[in-house]
Amino acid sequence: MDRAFAIICLGITLIAVLALALLLASILIAGFPGLSWSFIERYASRIPEQAGIKAPLFGSIWVASICAIVALPVGVATAVYLEEFAAKNRFTNFLRINISNLAGVPSIVYGILGLTLFVRMFGLFGPIQNPAFEIGGETFAIYYDSTGEPLRVPVTSRNETPSLTTGSIGYIQDVLDGPDGELIFTNNWVPIPLTIVNVDTEFTPAYGVISAIDVVEPIDYEIQKPWYYVQFPFGQTVLAGGLTLMLVVLPVVIISSQEALRSVPRSLRAGSMAMGATRLQTVFRVTLPASIPMIMTGAILAMSRAIGEAAPILVLGVALFITDVPQSLMDAFTVLPMQIYNWTSRPQEEFRALAATGIIVLLVVLLAFNAIAVLIRQKFSRPLQ
């Protein structure tokens, strides 16, 4: 009976491994021919031959990094408090039960919570299209001159309409001609004096020339966002996406950290305190270092789940077509699972091959984050003696 049970378990394991191997083999066969450095450097496109994955790749790295930076310290600190410092009473038992229950909640529910809490902030600050508060950044009013080129005019807030006259200074973007005939937008804005002409006056279209009827109100407003720029509410930004994924993985991090702390022998704690160490010193010099390997194992599983999540990001309402790499926490973004979902929903077979190539890139990113966690685990692990 023992031998038969072992054979059955081995057979089930081999079936699971074989299914995984077939899945990976099919993805590699379909996606590996399209894997190239140009595929990494290009942005999304409606033409399969010109489509790339640069924007969702960097979006996933940004979101996963924010998730890890916030979820790991908060989760480990919560586990340390519940296991080492909190009294054993009904309240702490209630917390433990609810944390365990939250680990089984579908991720789309966390997406709805993130949409309400981080994207809209319960509607307390007004619509997300026009942030109520902004910290950092420089605001510009956007106009178009007679040639159709956008012009920036500095203002103090989105509600200000500048008074433009002939001689006022605006800023026009320096655009270069690419080798293949495409325009290269340098994002380098150079000053140019403006010329305001009357409505009935005939003039030749030129840079910096604006009709008087077009300066009554700006077309739009734009914020130049440094890395420290923050707006309230957050909107569909990198920060909102990272914090939403933090909600998804936080219960997993807490539970795995609790189990890691429980695995440390009580004799180590007793020996430390017998030599005169306080409870705080025992936690940070004995208990926590001894539990780092298991904590990092739980962190690896949590980050693996976060990188592959698409449902909570989809609920946030992020755009599927992004042609910019995030430069700050308040920039728009998309992630690899969303881009893969977009390609697989297309009827063309070329997009399905792109989706397979995107899955390979997603697996590489996942393995890279896991490798970093493994290195940290190996560096901080030490014998319990």
384 pLDDT band (50/70/90 cuts)? low
Count of Cβ atoms closer than 10 Å to residue 307 Cβ: 25
User: Per-residue pLDDT averaged across 191-220, rounded?
Assistant: 88
pLDDT: which is higher, 79 or 303 = 79
How many whole angstroms separate alpha carbon 165 and alpha carbon 303?
55
Helices 349-380 & 288-308 angle (0-180, nearest 10): 170
Kindly state the average pLDDT of the residues 225-232.
Answer: 87
Superfamily of domain covering 38-123+236-380: MetI-like (1.10.3720.10)
The pLDDT score that the predictor gives to residue 319 is: 82
Tokens 């290269």 map to which residue?
184
What DSSP string runs through 283-338?
IIIIIHHHHHHHHHHHHHHHHHHHHH--HHHHHTT--S---S---STTS----HHH
Helix (H) / strand (E) element for 50: namely none
- pLDDT for 73 beyond 90: yes
Predicted local confidence at residue 303, as pLDDT: 87
Q: What is the pLDDT of residues 205-219, one digit of tens each?
A: 888 999 888 888 899
Lowest-confidence range among 128-132, 159-163, 204-208, 258-262?
A: 128-132
- Mean pLDDT over 360-372 rounds to 88
pLDDT at 289: 87
Which phi and psi angles does 100 have, rounded to 5°?
Answer: -65, -40
Cα–Cα distance, 343 to 324 (Å, whole number): 18
What does the alpha-carbon distance between residue 41 and residue 209 come to, in Å, rounded to a whole number? 37
Query: Which residues face 155 on adjacent strands?
Result: 139
Distances (CA, A) of 225 to 137, 332, 334, 371: 5, 12, 18, 32
Does the pLDDT at position 70 exceed 90?
yes
CA pair distance 171, 48, nearest whole angstrom: 35
- pTM score, whole prediction: 0.84
Structure tokens given for 356: 């397979």
**What is the chain's mean pLDDT, rounded?**
88
Q: Provide the residue type at 102 as one letter.
A: L
pLDDT, position 383: 60
Q: What pLDDT, on a 0 to 100 scale, did the predictor assign at position 182? A: 66
DSSP type of residue 104: T
* Size (the chain), residues: 385
Q: Does residue 254 surpass a pLDDT of 70?
A: yes
Number of C-beta neighbours around residue 129 at 10 A: 6
For the chain, the domains span 38-123+236-380, 138-224
Token readout for 337 is 């699972």
Residue 385: pLDDT above 60?
no
The residue type at 137: G
Residue 360, CA distances (Å) to 23, 25, 304, 357 in order: 12, 11, 14, 5
Per-residue model confidence as pLDDT tens digits over 1-54: 999 999 999 999 999 999 999 999 999 999 999 889 999 999 888 888 888 999
Q: What is the pLDDT of residues 337-362, one digit of tens each?
A: 999 988 988 888 899 899 999 999 99
Which residues are registered as beta bridge partners of 143? 151
How far from the centroid of its chain's Cα atoms is residue 365's Cα?
Answer: 13
* Model confidence at 256: pLDDT above 90: yes
Q: How far apart are CA 99 and CA 79, in angstroms?
A: 10
Percent of the chain with pLDDT over 90: 47
pLDDT digits (tens, 9 = 90+) for 86-138: 988 899 999 999 999 998 899 999 999 999 999 998 887 766 677 878 888 88
**DSSP-derived secondary structure for 205-216:** --TTEEEGGGGS
Quick one: DSSP state of residue 127?
-
Secondary structure element (H or E) that encloses residue 135, with its range: strand 133-135
Residue 98 has a pLDDT of 93
Q: What's the CA gap between 324 and 327, in Å, rounded? A: 9
Angle at 376 between CA 373 and CA 379, to 5 degrees: 150
Q: pLDDT by residue (tens digit) across 316-327?
A: 988 888 888 898
State residue 60's pLDDT score: 92
